[in-house]
């Protein structure tokens, strides 16, 4: 399973693998219970994990960078139910995060999603876009 195929769906808990898409929604597979189902785009919004950015004190960074910092850290993952522990965790693991603009609920979600990625042995990395050859005309 590739990180580039993972999505978050509004109104549904967890992460999903995009199996197929239709004009009115998508067929997704839950990473939690491995069930496959159709989700309507009329009711839900889909967000690719690759497109999610996190506010920092400098420029916004891709969620992958935060996940990679979490993986490189020796800190134990906190319980996503304890907001103070989650914030303290990110202050150690990713101190550049803009804690005034990143909500506790978002940080809890990042901890939960990272745990799901680890449980499914998915390496968080961006898909590499092929470089296009630019030909110069004489």
Query: For residue range 63-105, what is the model confidence (pLDDT) as tens digits?
Result: 999 999 999 999 999 998 999 999 999 999 999 999 999 999 9
Query: For residue range 2-58, what is the model confidence (pLDDT) as tens digits?
Result: 899 999 999 999 999 999 999 999 999 999 999 999 999 999 999 999 999 999 999
Q: Which sequence spans correspond to the domains of the chain?
A: 3-48, 52-119
The architecture CATH gives domain 52-119: Orthogonal Bundle (1.10)
Q: Please state the three-class secondary structure of the chain as a single string.
A: CCHHHEEEECCCCCCEEEEEEECCEEEEEECCCCCEEEEECCCCCEEEHHHCEECECCCCEEHHHHHHHHHHCCCCCCCCCCHHHHHHHHHHHCCCECCCCCCHHHHHHHHHHHHHHHHCCCCCCCCCCCCCCCCCCC
pTM to 2 decimal places: 0.86
């Amino acid at each position: 399973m590739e990180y580039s195929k993972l999505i978050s769906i509004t109104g549904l808990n967890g992460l999903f693998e995009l199996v197929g898409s239709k004009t009115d929604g998508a067929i997704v597979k839950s990473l939690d219970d491995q069930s496959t189902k159709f989700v309507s785009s009329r009711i839900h919004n889909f967000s690719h994990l690759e497109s999610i950015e996190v506010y920092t004190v400098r420029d916004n960074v891709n969620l992958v960078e935060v996940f990679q910092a979490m993986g490189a850290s020796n800190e134990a993952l906190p319980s996503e139910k304890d907001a103070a522990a989650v914030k303290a965790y990110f202050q150690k693991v990713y101190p550049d995060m803009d804690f005034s603009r990143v909500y506790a609920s978002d940080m809890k979600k990042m901890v939960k999603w990272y745990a799901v990625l680890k449980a499914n042995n998915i390496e968080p990395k961006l898909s590499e876009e092929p470089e296009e050859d630019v030909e110069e005309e004489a």
